[in-house]
Amino acid sequence: MVVSDAKRYFIILTGIVQGVGFRPFVYRAANRLGLKGWVENQGSRVLIDAEGSEETIRSFTHTLQRESPENARIAELRIDPQPFLGYPDFSIRTSTAELNTTNFLPADIAVCESCMKEFNTPGDRRYHYPFISCTNCGPRYSIIGSLPYDRENTVMSAFELCGPCKAEYGSPSDRRFHAQTDCCPDCGPVLKLLDSRGVAVDSSEPAKTARELIRQGKILAVKGIGGYHLCCNAEDPAAVQRLRKLKHRSCKPLAIMARNLEAACKICKVSEREKAVLTGNRKPILLLSKRTPEYLPEDVAPRQKKLGVMLPYAPLQLLLFSDDLNFLVMTSGNISGMPICFQDDTAIKALGTVAEYFLTHNREIQIPVDDTVLKVVDEHEVLVRCGRGYAPLPIPLESGNEILALGADQKSTVCITRNNFATVSQYIGDLNEFQTYHAFERQIEHFKGLFHFCPDILAHDRNPDSLSSRYAKKQAGQKIAVQHHHAHMAGCMVENKLTRDAIGVIYDGTGLGTDGAVWGGEFLTGSLSGFTRAGHLEYVTLQGGDSAVKEPWRCAACYLFALGMDPHEFLPQVDSTSLNMAQKALHSGIKCFKSSSMGRLFDCAAALCGFQGKIIYDAQAAIELENLSQPDVSDYYQYRIEDTENSLILGYEKMLNGILRDLQNQVPKSIISSKFHNTVIEATADCTCRIRQKTGLEDVVLSGGVFENTYLLEGLISRLRDLNFKVYYNRLTPTNDGGVSFGQAAAACAILKENNNVSCDSGQSNQYE
C-alpha cells in the first residue's frame, strides 16, 4: 500500500558501519516501520533508499542513531530528498565496489554473548567450536586484506561456506547474515597442536590436550586474534619462572587472562567501571590493583601494585580454562623487544626455544595487533597501548589534507588523516629494533593499500636523526617537522576538543628541543600550530647517551655531581670504579648532553631510593618508584622556581637535597618516594599558577610519558582543579609516545591551515626563546 503522503529519501551513513551487522539492522528496522526501499554497502559508506511518511522516516533515522549495533559508530548521517518511486518492499542489495575512501574499519571484536551461548550448548553445531563468530563479533581488522569488507577480501576467503552456513549467510533475519567470518566445524578453520619444532602432535582434541599440558606446567604458544601469546598456568610459580627465563624477560610484568569476571575479582580490586571494561566487547588488558595478600605468585608482576588482567576474547581461549585452571599468563608471543609473532612459520622459529608446544590453526592473521592496555583514571578509561579492539582508532580531526604522521621512535604508531578524521594505527614498538622497523614500514604500506591512501604530506619529529624522520626524508611530498613535546600537547588538545590556547605541562622521557638540548620537563603555552616555551625543569648535564637512560644510577650520579655531592655516599649499590669512570667522562665532556627531562629526574630519584643496575623495560625505575609510594603521605620537599621575565626554571637542587637529608636520616624509601611525587605535584602547580598570572590561560593540558604515573597524574589533576584550572589529559590516545603520531598529525593540520605552502617546523616557526 502506498501512503499518500509518502516521501523518498537517501540516507547516507559514514563511520564504522560495515562488518558490524549494520545492514541486517537497517533491514529489520525498516520492515518494522513499514518502510520500502533498499540498503547497500558502498565501500566507504552505507546508503539507504527509504520511502515512507515524513514521520516514519524521522523515527527511522532516530532508530538508526539510537539503536545501531553495539560495534557500529556513526560519524555522519546525511539525508537527501529524492523523487518518489514506489518500491514494493525493502531489500538488501549487494555491495558495490566503488573506490574506498573510508577512514573507518571495524576493529576486532570479542566473542559475543549469543555466540558464547551456542558455544556452551552441547548439541549445537558449533558447540566448543573455537572459531564461532557472527555479525556482532569475531576478528575484523586483523583479517582484512583490502576493502570493501567482503569475505573475499579477508583471510576467510580460504574457507568455502558449507550448506547450512551458506543459508545463514544469505538470510537477512539470521544473526550471521553476511557475517564474513561465518564458519563451522564442517567448513571453517581447524586447530592443530605442534611440538616445539613444529611437528604435529597426535591429538583428536588439540585444545583439550593443550589444556592438559598447561595443567602439567608446560609453556604453550597459542595463536590468538592478532598474533601469538605465550601461555602458562599463572598459579604455577615454576612455570612462570621458566617462561621468564626462556623469554629473557626477567621482571617485566606479565599479563594475566582470568577465566571470568569472578576470577578477576579474586586477584584484583575491580570497580564497577572496571568491571564494565573487563566484560565489554573489546576486552583489553586492564591495569587493576592487586589484592593483598597476593593471590598469584609474586613473580607474575614483581614489585608492582597493579596487574594487567583481561578476560578471554577468542573462543579458542575459552577452551583453555577449567575448574582447576582459572588464571593463565598470556604474554605477547615475541622475544623481548621484537614485534609479536603472527605468521606460523616465523612463530615456530622465533618461539620454539620458549614454547614447548604450539596450539595453532589455519586461519591466517593479515596484520599483527597486540593486546590493548587500558586503565581507569579519574573514572575515565585511559588508553595506555592501542591494539586489538581499538585499532585502527578513528578520531575527529579537522583536515583537508592526506597526512601521514610517522610518530616517535619508541612506542611507535603511525597516523593518517583525511575527510576530517585521523586514524591511528596499533602499537608497533621500538623502531631501533630492525624487525620492528620492518613492521613499521609494513604497517604504512598496509594503511596505504587498505584505505587507498596516498599521503601528500608527511609529519615527523623535528629530530632529523630519528628513524621516523629518516624514513620521511626518503619519501616524496611535503614534510612538516613537529617538536616532540608540542606533538604531545597538540594531540591531547585535539582529543579534548580544545581550540583555545592552553598551558601544556609535558613531562616525558626524551625529545629534541629547539635549542638542541634534550627536553622533557616542559611548560609550553600555545596552540596546535605553535608554542612558546614558558618554562622548564632546570638543565642538568647527563653523561652516557643511551646508557644514561638504561642505567638510572648514571642520572643520579650526574645530578649529584651537579650538586657537588659525593655519589659514592648516596649510591651504595654502585661500585666505585663505575662511579669514578662516569665522573671522569663527565669532566671531559664525553657523550654529555643537557637535559630538562622529567623522566630522568624520576630515574635519579629511583636510583637514590635504591634502584639497582639496568632497567629491563621502559621506565622501569620510575614505575618501581611509583609503586613504593604511599597515598597517605602528604609532605613534600622544598623546591625553588626561578621566575624571570621570559621563562620559569623549576630547580632540582632543593628537592634533591631534601631527599638526601631523608636518606641520611634513614627515612623509609616509601616516604621518600611519596614526598618526591608530592613535590613534583606542588612545584608543577606552582609553575602553572605563575604562567596563568602572566598569560591569563586557564586550560592545562597534561601529557607525556611520565604521566603514565597514576599517582602523579591523579595528584596533579586534583591539585590543579583545586586551583580552578580546567585540566585535560590523554584518554583516547596514549599519553606516552604512542600518542605522538596523532599529535604530529594534529599539529601539521593546524600549521598547514595557517601557512599553506612551505615546509615548516612547529618549533622553529614559533620559537620565541
Quote the least distance from Cβ 70 to Zn ion, whole Å.
Answer: 10
CA 674 to chain centre: 28
Nearer CB in complex with Zn ion: 118/235: 118
Smaller CB separation from Zn ion, 155 or 213: 155
Q: Does 137 bind Zn ion (CB under 5 A)?
A: yes
Shortest CB 462 distance to Zn ion, Å: 46
Q: How far is the CB of 159 from Zn ion (least distance, A)?
A: 8
Of the listed pieces 55-63, 130-138, 392-400, 466-474, which binds Zn ion according to CB under 5 A? 130-138
367 makes contact with Zn ion (CB under 5 A): no
Q: How far is the CB of 308 from Zn ion (least distance, A)?
A: 25
Q: How far apart are CA 589 and CA 739, in angstroms?
A: 34
Q: Cβ 191 to Zn ion, closest distance in Å? A: 16
- Respond yes or no on whether the N-terminal peptide bond of residue 293 is cis (omega within 30° of 0): yes
**Least separation in angstroms between CB 166 and Zn ion:** 8
How is 182-217 classified by DSSP, letter by letter?
---TTTS--EEEEETTSPBP--SSHHHHHHHHHHTT
Q: Which region among 41-49, 134-142, 336-344, 599-607 touches Zn ion (by CB under 5 A)?
A: 134-142
State the residue for C-alpha cell 601557512: 755
The answer to whether 318 contacts Zn ion (rule: CB under 5 A) is no
Asked whether the beta carbons of 360 and 192 are under 8 A apart, the reply is yes
Beta bridge partners of 276: none
Rule CB under 5 A: is residue 184 a binding residue for Zn ion? yes
Contacting residues for 558 by C-beta, under 8 A, at least 6 apart: 540, 541, 542, 543, 548, 582, 586, 604
Q: Grid coordinates standing for 639?
A: 623546591
Closest to Zn ion by CB, 147 vs 165, is: 165
- Our CB check for Zn ion shows the closer of 134 and 239 to be 134
Give CA–CA dist 381/97, Å, rounded.
Answer: 37
Phi and psi based region of residue 762 (left: phi greater than 0; alpha: psi -120 to 50; beta: remaining): alpha
386 neighbors 440 (Cβ within 8 angstroms): no
- What is the nearest approach in angstroms of Zn ion to the Cβ of residue 313? 12
48 near Zn ion (CB under 5 A): no
Are the C-beta atoms of 685 and 654 separated by less than 8 Å? no
| Closer residue to Zn ion (CB): 129 or 636 | 129
Query: Between the CA atoms of 268, 269, 273 and 278, what dihedral angle is there, to the nearest 10 degrees?
Result: 10
Instruction: Determine if 319 is a binding residue for Zn ion (CB under 5 A).
Output: no
First to last CA, the chain: 74
Piece of the chain touching Zn ion by CB under 5 A; list 178-186, 266-274, 666-674, 707-715: 178-186
102 Cβ contact partners less than 8 Å away, ≥ 6 residues apart: 14, 43, 44, 45, 147, 451
Does 201 engage in binding with Zn ion (CB under 5 A)?
no
Instruction: Please tell me whether residue 115 binds Zn ion under the rule CB under 5 A.
Output: yes
Shortest gap between Cβ of 187 and Zn ion (angstroms)?
A: 3
Nearer to Zn ion, 187 or 563 (CB): 187
CA angle (437, 441, 443) in 5-degree steps = 110
Window 668-707: contact mask with Zn ion (x via CB under 5 A) = ----------------------------------------
**Residue 422 β-bridge partners:** 395, 417
The CB-of-185 to Zn ion minimum distance in angstroms stands at: 7
Shortest spacing between CB 272 and Zn ion, in angstroms = 25
Nearer Cβ to Zn ion, position 162 or 723?
A: 162
Nearest distance from residue 547's CB to Zn ion, in Å?
50
Output the CA–CA distances (angstroms, integers) from residue 181 to 50, 109, 136, 449, in the order listed.
29, 11, 10, 21
CB of 275 to Zn ion, least distance (A): 21
| 11, 20, 35, 134: residue in contact with Zn ion (rule CB under 5 A) | 134
Could you tell me the three cell numbers for 384?
595506555
Residue type, 498: L
How far, in Å, CA of 628 to CA of 701, rounded? 27
Residue 112 within binding range of Zn ion, rule CB under 5 A:
yes
Among 181-189, 457-465, 488-496, 686-694, which window interacts with Zn ion (CB under 5 A)? 181-189
Q: Count of residues binding Zn ion (CB under 5 A)?
A: 10
Residues 6+ apart with CB under 8 A from 642: 538, 648, 649, 651
Task: Identify residues 520-579 at the interface with Zn ion (CB under 5 A).
Answer: none
Q: What are phi and psi of 530, to 5 degrees?
A: -170, 170
Q: Shortest Cβ distance from residue 334 to Zn ion (Å)?
A: 29
Report if residue 165 touches Zn ion, rule: CB under 5 A.
yes
Q: Which one of 131-139, 523-531, 648-656, 661-669 is the stretch in contact with Zn ion (CB under 5 A)?
A: 131-139
C-beta separation of 357 from 220 below 8 A: yes
Give 126 or 554: the residue with its C-beta nearer to Zn ion: 126
- Show the 3-state SS of 244-301: HHHHCCCCCCCCEEECCHHHHHHHEECCHHHHHHHHCCCCCEEEEEECCCCCCCHHHC
184 versus 219: smaller Cβ distance to Zn ion: 184
Closer by beta carbon to Zn ion, 137 or else 558: 137
- Distance of closest approach, residue 134 Cβ to Zn ion, in angstroms: 3
Task: Give the interface segment with Zn ion, choosing from 143-151, 159-167, 360-368, 585-593 (CB under 5 A).
Answer: 159-167
Least distance (Å) from Zn ion to the CB of residue 186?
A: 5
- Cβ proximity to Zn ion: between 361 and 550 the closer is 361
Q: Which of 54, 89, 186, 569 binds Zn ion (CB under 5 A)?
A: 186
Mark the segment that binds Zn ion (CB under 5 A) among 93-101, 129-137, 214-222, 673-681. Answer: 129-137
> Which is nearer to Zn ion, 187 or 246 (by Cβ)?
187
C-alpha cell at 53: 511518511
Nearer to Zn ion, 176 or 252 (CB): 176
Query: Is 310 exposed, middle or buried, given 0-12, 13-18 or 19+ CB atoms closer than 10 A?
Result: buried
Look up residue 399 and give its three cell numbers.
583536515
Handedness of CA 232, 236, 239, 243 (dihedral sign): positive
Residues 504, 701 contacting (CB under 8 angstroms):
yes
Say whether residue 162 binds Zn ion (CB under 5 A).
yes
Q: Name the residue nearer to Zn ion (CB basis): 115 or 285.
A: 115
Q: Which residues bind Zn ion (CB under 5 A)?
A: 112, 115, 134, 136-137, 162, 165, 184, 186-187
